[in-house]
Amino acid sequence: MLESYEASLDAGLTTNKEIRRFKIAINTACPLRCEYCFIDKDSGEVVPWAVVQSLVRFMLSSPGQVKKLLIYGGEPFLKFELVREVALFARSEAVKAGKDLDLSICTSAALPLKVGWLEFLAEQRFFLSVSMDGDEETHDKRRVDTAGKGSWKRMLPNLPLVFDTIGKRRAMAIQCVHPDNVEKMLSNFQTLVGLGFENVEVEVIHGFEWVNKKHLFRPMMQKVLDWAWAEAQEGRFRFVVCSLVPLMLKEGILLEDMCPFHSSMECYPDGKYSFYPFAFVDWEGRKRSAVGGAVDGVAERWRHCSFDKDSDTCKNCTSEYYRNPMVNEGNDPYRWRTEMARAFMDKVALAARSDARMKDYLREAVIRCRIS
């Protein structure tokens, strides 16, 4: 058994590094042509089953008890039978491996979501994310269909069905923050809450020039957190999803921050692995940025390294990786978002010692933390 493990490790088909989250893009087709998504929607790529099998087993081979497989596209609901097959296979493999598996799916909600689809997701305890920008004007500026029309009105009818079937604890909006809409961050966050979301992730858009708007990000992010705090004081609980990560990881937070294998692994329909957010700003570049693949294994550079917070190798792991300037755009706002959200949860935990309302908020945050 040991020889088999060592051989698999040498081939890059098993890993000694903990992988908490793994994102798989099962297809490239999508009804939308969002300005900030560079995935080739017309390429017609669909992930082969051999890639799915290898990826799932690779993730489950890694240390750590709790795993999360995130299903993306394109629009994954265009291939829902494949979603079903992936989910059932991953569940079965997780049982064999003795791992605790979370499943998540992300959608634009720009096509009608069938009740049967959502019921299956609920049965399999999926988390469901809807990628959005905010109010109708903000959303429709960049989230357009193939005819250039905004998708806001196509999305809205799906939301009540999502909340009724999946449940609000397991549903979240991904609020895409672009340099041009950063000044509306709070009002757009409030719009998403008004639509029924209780969990909202602030997602910084990479690949666009932030230099002239970067100074606005921190004050706007603070307004979002201040509003969430004020709402919590009134018993209305709103969650910035990245603030929940420390509750999920506890002492493992250093892995989240330093090791890209922990939470940044992505696989595309061609079976190539890379680190977030390459595909979203440079679809062709993903081939040059591959860190291995589901069939051929992870690249030799990363096969035998192990995490050490004091190691220069770990500290500089991605310094030569993110060479595309477009990928680096948004890095500072992304880092500020994460730091501020964690500081917010620290503040909540401290207040919960003497404030009954914040104690309730913290208790609910712990219940929801696996959505992160």
CATH of the domain at 312: 3.20.20.70
Q: How far apart are CA 154 and CA 93, in angstroms?
A: 36
Sign of CA dihedral 161, 164, 167, 168: positive
pLDDT at 282: 65
Q: Which DSSP symbol is given to 129?
A: E
**pLDDT attached to residue 320:** 65
Q: Which residue bears the tokens 């509750």?
A: 247
The residue written with tokens 């494949």 in the block is 82
Q: What is the CA radius of gyration of the chain?
A: 20
Q: Which domain holds residue 363?
A: 2-371
Which of 107-116, 286-295, 339-348 bottoms out in mean pLDDT, i.e. has the lowest?
A: 286-295
**Kind of pairing, strands 199-204 and 239-240?**
parallel
List CB contacts of 357: < 8 A, sequence separation 6 or more: 232, 233, 235
Report which residue type is found at 319: S
Give the rounded percent of residues in the chain with a pLDDT score beyond 90: 72
* Other residues' Cβ atoms within 10 Å of the Cβ of residue 370: 17
Q: What is the per-residue pLDDT for 129?
A: 98
Angstrom distances, CA of residue 361 to CA of 237, 345, 357: 6, 10, 6
Residues 6+ apart with CB under 8 A from 7: none
Identify the pLDDT of residue 323: 60
- Average pLDDT in the 214-243 region? 97
Q: What is the pLDDT of residue 165?
A: 98
Q: For 33-60, what is the mean pLDDT?
A: 94
What pLDDT is recorded for position 248? 82
Q: Which long-range contacts (CB under 8 A, 24 or more apart) does 333-339 make?
A: 333/177, 333/182, 333/204, 333/210, 333/214, 333/217, 334/204, 334/206, 336/217, 336/218, 336/221, 337/202, 337/204, 337/217, 337/221, 337/242, 338/242, 338/245
pLDDT(198) > 60 = yes
* CA dihedral sign of residues 116, 122, 125, 130: positive
Using alpha carbons, select from 256, 267, 275, 279 the residue that is nearest to residue 372: 256
- Reduced to 3 states (helix: H, G, I; strand: E, B; else coil), residue 128 is strand
pLDDT band at 12 (very low <50, low <70, confident <90, very high): confident
**pLDDT at position 2:** 47
Number of residues assigned to the chain: 372
CB-based contacts of 134: which residues, under 8 Å, 6+ apart? Answer: 175, 181, 184, 187, 188, 189, 191, 192
The confidence band for 276, taking pLDDT boundaries of 50, 70 and 90, is confident
- pLDDT score of 203 more than 80: yes
**102 is written with which tokens?**
């979370």
What would the mean pLDDT of 225-232 be, rounded to a whole number? 98
Q: How many domains does the chain have?
A: 1
Using CA of residue 290, residue 51, residue 126, residue 153, what is the dihedral sign? positive
For 192-214, what is the mean pLDDT? 94
Average of per-residue pLDDT across 52-58: 96
- Write the pLDDT tens digit of every residue in 85-110: 999 999 999 999 999 999 999 999 99
Average pLDDT, the chain: 91
Alpha helices in 171-269 (DSSP H): 185-194, 214-233, 245-249, 253-258, 260-263
Condensed to tens digits (0 to 9), the pLDDT of residues 122-147 reads 999 999 999 999 999 999 999 999 99
